A and B are shown apart, each in its own frame.
Chain A
């Protein structure tokens, strides 16, 4: 995999983005977006310059000036922030000044490797010595596409420096072109994954890959094939052409396409299987928890609706592998180790909703994952389950990787679609929903990597089997990425309903809280879910709260308990919705020991959201700046307690409410959690930063 192969790949016929690949191509050639090249491209294609500029300037990946010899990007969010990214910055600054303008340091948003925090990405723009090792995305551009003659190639290393000296040496190596010994970081030091106790891969015991697809196709085509057997024999149609023949038969039979045929309902039934006391098996695992069957059905119905009216019936299946939320890096391992499951999930969705093409949207900071997926796609094409010649499916169904030029907001589904279409990755005003009006206004399914990856397991082993994997009456398993103050940060596949205690202290999981060993707070969804205190006050009306009563019974505490040890909470979305003050449970869990200043952590979250706001709508763009400024001022000890309580805090509450009410997408809503949990549960941390009237002594 190389940038160039992304750029020059002729993607299949159903949908093609022009602008982003062209920008990739120009940047790969010159090392930056060269003005003459942009002007020439604009002249040749008739795409005006402003279109190229609006897209290119939006994404951090593209730059308009020749980059310095070495660019050092230090992640500044959550786990990296906690493990001394700021010290590295402070200690490195004199060195950078010394080497200016050849070395440039900047703070960046999450790089997706929080388990090895602090993470630094060092990129060298110079031409390395011949035969140099070519780790990393851009390094491979060099070896694959341009050879040694390239003038604009870039090498990129993701490092987890133990100290500043180590980092300084790495930078020096880049400056001198001696990068042979540098090892870019994929997973946590490349070891430990996939864990042998992960169950997601139904093929790990030798069952041939893509069996779920074959099962589904058999359910779909079996009855028609039986009915047409004599015809097939009579025409002597070879076995490999039968699926396509059946598709043609179906298309030509004037019968209306069935809205919910048996084979589709059977698959949905597996997805919708329920454990004893939990919600249905397969739900959106990007955080929203929408039933997978619901979204798949929506897309299927939209396609049939278009077909019935003889309109353009293209439909797309998109995998949201943008994974840019601090603390969240579980898709990184799924894409790396189980690309075939993700691809199979895409194809399954494609068969069920009768879509035309699939895209795996992956952030550019995941070069190994991009490579793994491309490789797996090739393999799948050979097996006839995707590509223009997907003979098992009986019709073309290309799947390809789209390398995201970057940005947290591109994980918002409509922003992702915009980015894929070659527009600025800004969210759209909804409705209409992407399921009916997505990519090019066609029906589009956007789901998280993991949602697709579990689909094969469920269809091979059955929904009931999947549900039986849960703990404490909840169903199934899911992946969490844990970082911050734990002894063993990383990616874990856990049974749904596992208690937080087991996850944080269990031997096979995090093996205890690091630092002081005492838990102060827990972030259940990156920066968006706020900070949950170790001891959580009980809900307002505990006797009426079903989830509370059930939890009390299971964990053995009285219903009228005044508080809950957060370690007793079971990891399951519905439970957190019912009992946690922010109602969220994402995949990125961050742990704070009792030395952490939650006011400082809260401002760090605000800064992240402010930096990642796309700027399209006013409440989020301006509100984020005002809130972050305020937070930074609080940390500077320049705000007095009285003004805070009388004047500022009421306005802040009003502002976050309006940002939630009026912003285009969910990002405007995210500012509330870090602030509300700080003021509700860690007010002493806040008060420490406020000025109090000096007592008369």
Chain B
């Protein structure tokens, strides 16, 4: 009847999929997946090959971290067709453009389309693999299927590719490094994948050069936004994949970019369609790195050149791109920042880092052997098989826990923290890192708690422990458990600080905080009460416990206090069963634990603890405290600070301290960097320009692009974004005619020793004080002073 292939007669606007109803004919509601769905196995066929996948997988955040609560519980998300196909064919999954593993699927590009069937019945429409969940018995046909279904899918993907590449596949506009970026254009890669020579929609018939129809309005022009000194936005190369939108609003939570307009006039916009540089955009670069085409690129003057120390050589972007370990990092990211990955040829006995050093890089072993030398333990050799060392300090921002020394000649690739972050976003790499990190983190957790609890244990017992404890992460502010909750485990704090609160007579009183290497939850695990120490002697308690233990009595322990995370906390969790088994193997552990517990019970509260925690002073490794009994407000400290720093960093005088702040006891804690243990400012810097110096102080490097993320992350307002009068990022360019530089640059106290020339920092603010009122203390020291005065 019709020369057209589809029978519209079967048309039904309310399409229901083949899997929409259950056996009773009831429409299936899409509920939030549950953790039980991890266990449920779904069997699907991909191009005739059977694959078994769990119905749901744990949700990951944009960094690739599995999102967990205190009990290690994860949030499930449904497994998609894309996940299933990727499981079967790691390298050659369904092609995708708008989908990224670390982003919420939106299914707008329609490149990942597949055909599904149920018991031989074929779904009328093709479905997006990135978004569609797998159902048991689903038959999936990708473009690689050789039959009619595969043909249909392939034709669809090819036409969509032709549409996408007709106008949007183009070189980046001047002055972007167009040639360098061209091979990374994902539209080009897609074109190669579907073996398309050229888009037929480029033919003149499909173009409209003039308007002749009465109401014909040409599409609104898609201009180039050149306002930013660093980035270029070419709307005509944009395919509206929403990757920049999700990168900005969901990954970075900067909330600037959205789609605007409708249909052919739809494009992306910053705020109220303002030029990028005039919007609230902080120039973090996430949108540029997320963009699969040449729609958002960078200017050569915007290239971040990371300063290289020593005789290391930066590895060219092209080489990295070809290396499987780096293949999944957006090449634009590597091209934009030079010197993020350095090749070091090491000689035997060469030291890569010392214990206690600030660890802002990690070492990938390409050749040779490195020895890890923790204090008091024999060297642990690591080779290419172990892939990487030093990643723990790099990821957590904590100091190095051991010296790393080359055992043989070798080749090491040193990577910066932001590269490591990017690497971890790739699910394949992530799996590898997670395993490594977990094993190593648990090992250090046991080592940390060793002196107190596990010293002298047999290797066999330690191994048992390591393989039976689990790693748990808690976010700042998150409650771990409440007072009175049933207690079935205890934790070793590996990283961060835990706030313990004990309610007495109905009123809440902050009692103490617990830092790395210490235990929490042991009282509950042992089934002790808070007043046990008052009523009974230590021996009595130990006797009772051992008796109960041997008799197998469940003491039904309750939490004696509530615990919550003060910062990013990582814990090793030891459950009841593991503990019992350990005690059976090593009875001494029980006695030691009782010692710890009794010590805890008899600990006295310290004054000012609530303020101490609320003001975040426990974090401080070097805070500037002004003794108010001596300080005359002469401001010599501020003047000295300005004088000391000069105009080197910003081209103008800037103070790194404000003689204002909250009081703690008789002291005023000035607004100046405290060199926090868990430095929030260091999280997520897009160009990795914020580091720790030799004294654990925070140092801003010159390639700061002024995005302000560190300043926003600092809870104490100790980083300020100041106008940068220096031409830091580039120089005058012929094409744009205006001066390019980062508008702002972060300024922070670096203890007057950014370069690390001194053995001990000599901050000028302290030495300039004529009244001996200004001092640098750790948080603990200040707490002691206040308690002893």
Taking beta carbons and an 8 Å cutoff, which residues of A are in contact with B? 35, 38, 48-54, 57-60, 64, 74, 76, 85-86, 89-90, 106-107, 284, 286-290, 298, 301-302, 305-306, 407, 413, 424, 429-433, 435-437, 441, 443, 537, 539-540, 577-578, 580-584, 603, 607, 610-619, 621-626, 629-630, 632-633, 635-636, 639, 643, 647-648, 651, 653-658, 660-664, 666, 669, 672-673, 676, 679-680
Contacts A50-B271, A301-B27, A612-B263; A290 near B14 (Cβ below 8 A): yes
Contacts A582-B8, A658-B160; A632 near B113 (Cβ below 8 A): no
Q: Are A636 and B212 in contact (CB under 8 A)?
A: yes
Counting CB contacts under 8 A, is B589 at the interface? no
- Write the chain B residue with the least CB distance to A433: B27
Counting CB contacts under 8 A, is B28 at the interface? yes
Q: Are A648 and B205 in contact (CB under 8 A)?
A: yes
Q: Are B258 and A51 in contact (CB under 8 A)?
A: yes
Q: Are B213 and A632 in contact (CB under 8 A)?
A: yes
**Residues of chain A contacted by B26 (CB below 8 angstroms):** 298, 301, 305
The one of A302, A621, A629, A679 that contacts B208, using a Cβ cutoff of 8 Å: A629
Chain B: minimal CB distance from A408 (Å)? 10
**Residues of chain B contacted by A50 (CB below 8 angstroms):** 249, 255-258, 269-271
Q: Are B107 and A662 in contact (CB under 8 A)?
A: no
Q: Are A618 and B164 in contact (CB under 8 A)?
A: yes
A597 to B262, CA, bound (A): 30
A618 to B200, CA, bound (A): 16
Q: Are A615 and B260 in contact (CB under 8 A)?
A: no
Q: Are A38 and B272 in contact (CB under 8 A)?
A: yes
**Residues of chain B contacted by A35 (CB below 8 angstroms):** 272
A302 to B14, CA, bound (A): 17
The one of B156, B216, B280 that contacts A658, using a Cβ cutoff of 8 Å: B156
**B187-213 CB contacts (< 8 Å) to partner A:** 200-201, 203, 205-208, 212-213
Interface string of B390-415 (1 = CB under 8 A from A): 00000000000000000000000000
Q: Are A663 and B262 in contact (CB under 8 A)?
A: no
The one of A86, A288, A625, A662 that contacts B264, using a Cβ cutoff of 8 Å: A625
**Residues of chain A contacted by B255 (CB below 8 angstroms):** 48-51
Chain A: minimal CB distance from B126 (Å)? 5
Query: Which applies to chain A's interface (DSSP): helix, strand, loop or mixed?
Result: helix
A280 to B256, CA, bound (A): 51
The one of A90, A306, A537 that contacts B1, using a Cβ cutoff of 8 Å: A537
Give the most central of B12, B258, B270: most A CB within 10 Å.
B258
- Write the chain A residue with the least CB distance to B27: A298
Chain B: minimal CB distance from A349 (Å)? 16
- Write the chain B residue with the least CB distance to A309: B31
A107 to B270, CA, bound (A): 28
**Residues of chain B contacted by A433 (CB below 8 angstroms):** 14, 16, 20, 27
**Residues of chain B contacted by A64 (CB below 8 angstroms):** 272-273
Enumerate the 3 nearest inter-chain pairs by beta-carbon distance, A residue then B residue, closest first: A107-B215, A583-B9, A615-B266
Q: Are B263 and A53 in contact (CB under 8 A)?
A: no
Q: Are B5 and A621 in contact (CB under 8 A)?
A: no
Counting CB contacts under 8 A, is B450 at the interface? no
- Write the chain A residue with the least CB distance to B29: A436
Q: Are A583 and B10 in contact (CB under 8 A)?
A: yes
Q: Are A431 and B17 in contact (CB under 8 A)?
A: yes
Taking beta carbons and an 8 Å cutoff, which residues of B are in contact with A? 1-17, 19-20, 26-30, 107-111, 113, 125-126, 128, 131-132, 152, 155-156, 159-160, 163-164, 166, 200-201, 203, 205-208, 212-217, 219, 239-240, 249, 255-266, 269-273, 280
Besides A54-B269, A577-B11, A662-B126, 12 other A-B contacts (C-beta < 8 A): A49-B271, A53-B272, A286-B13, A288-B13, A433-B16, A580-B9, A623-B163, A655-B159, A661-B125, A666-B15, A676-B2, A680-B2
Q: List 29 A-B contacts (CB under 8 A).
A: A48-B256, A49-B272, A50-B256, A50-B269, A76-B215, A85-B215, A86-B214, A290-B14, A305-B29, A437-B30, A577-B11, A581-B1, A581-B2, A582-B9, A583-B7, A583-B9, A615-B240, A622-B166, A626-B163, A629-B207, A630-B205, A636-B212, A653-B4, A654-B155, A657-B4, A660-B6, A664-B107, A669-B11, A676-B4
Chain A: minimal CB distance from B132 (Å)? 8
Chain A: minimal CB distance from B129 (Å)? 12
A160 to B66, CA, bound (A): 62
**Residues of chain B contacted by A611 (CB below 8 angstroms):** 263-264
Give the most central of B5, B27, B109: most A CB within 10 Å.
B27
Give the most central of B107, B109, B126, B206: most A CB within 10 Å.
B206
**Residues of chain B contacted by A615 (CB below 8 angstroms):** 240, 259, 261-266
For the A-B complex, the count of residue pairs with Cβ-Cβ distances under 8 Å equals 254
A611 to B266, CA, bound (A): 11
A432 to B103, CA, bound (A): 20
Q: Are A429 and B205 in contact (CB under 8 A)?
A: no
Contacts A583-B11, A672-B8, A679-B3; A635 near B28 (Cβ below 8 A): no
Q: Are A676 and B3 in contact (CB under 8 A)?
A: yes
Q: Are A643 and B205 in contact (CB under 8 A)?
A: yes
- Write the chain A residue with the least CB distance to B105: A429
Chain B: minimal CB distance from A330 (Å)? 17
A52 to B111, CA, bound (A): 30
**Residues of chain B contacted by A435 (CB below 8 angstroms):** 27
A106 to B216, CA, bound (A): 10
**Residues of chain B contacted by A540 (CB below 8 angstroms):** 1
Chain B: minimal CB distance from A578 (Å)? 7
Q: Are A86 and B3 in contact (CB under 8 A)?
A: no
The one of B128, B206, B240, B256 that contacts A621, using a Cβ cutoff of 8 Å: B240
**Residues of chain A contacted by B11 (CB below 8 angstroms):** 577, 583-584, 666, 669
Q: Are A672 and B6 in contact (CB under 8 A)?
A: yes
A97 to B707, CA, bound (A): 47
Q: Are A662 and B110 in contact (CB under 8 A)?
A: yes
- Write the chain A residue with the least CB distance to B159: A658
**Residues of chain A contacted by B203 (CB below 8 angstroms):** 647-648
A430 to B152, CA, bound (A): 20
Q: Are A662 and B29 in contact (CB under 8 A)?
A: no
Give the most central of A107, A302, A658: most B CB within 10 Å.
A658
- Write the chain A residue with the least CB distance to B132: A429
**Residues of chain B contacted by A74 (CB below 8 angstroms):** 215
Chain B: minimal CB distance from A280 (Å)? 15
**Residues of chain A contacted by B201 (CB below 8 angstroms):** 622, 626
A223 to B270, CA, bound (A): 61
Chain A: minimal CB distance from B651 (Å)? 32
Q: Are A662 and B257 in contact (CB under 8 A)?
A: no
Q: Are A424 and B8 in contact (CB under 8 A)?
A: no
Contacts A429-B107, A630-B206; A624 near B263 (Cβ below 8 A): yes
Q: Are B9 and A89 in contact (CB under 8 A)?
A: no
Q: Are A54 and B200 in contact (CB under 8 A)?
A: no
**Residues of chain A contacted by B131 (CB below 8 angstroms):** 429
A662 to B8, CA, bound (A): 15
**Residues of chain A contacted by B206 (CB below 8 angstroms):** 626, 629-630
Q: Are B215 and A619 in contact (CB under 8 A)?
A: no
Q: Are B256 and A656 in contact (CB under 8 A)?
A: no
**Residues of chain A contacted by B280 (CB below 8 angstroms):** 49
Q: Are B214 and A661 in contact (CB under 8 A)?
A: no
A35 to B279, CA, bound (A): 13
The one of B2, B8, B257 that contacts A584, using a Cβ cutoff of 8 Å: B8
**Residues of chain B contacted by A58 (CB below 8 angstroms):** 260-262
Q: Are A621 and B160 in contact (CB under 8 A)?
A: no
Chain A: minimal CB distance from B37 (Å)? 15
Chain A: minimal CB distance from B146 (Å)? 19
Q: Are A619 and B27 in contact (CB under 8 A)?
A: no
The one of A59, A287, A607, A624 that contacts B213, using a Cβ cutoff of 8 Å: A607
**Residues of chain B contacted by A437 (CB below 8 angstroms):** 29-30
Chain B: minimal CB distance from A599 (Å)? 13
Q: Are A302 and B5 in contact (CB under 8 A)?
A: no
Give the most central of B11, B166, B219, B270: most A CB within 10 Å.
B11
**Residues of chain B contacted by A289 (CB below 8 angstroms):** 12
Q: Are A617 and B110 in contact (CB under 8 A)?
A: yes
Q: Are A583 and B164 in contact (CB under 8 A)?
A: no
**Residues of chain B contacted by A666 (CB below 8 angstroms):** 11, 13, 15
The one of A38, A86, A436, A629 that contacts B28, using a Cβ cutoff of 8 Å: A436
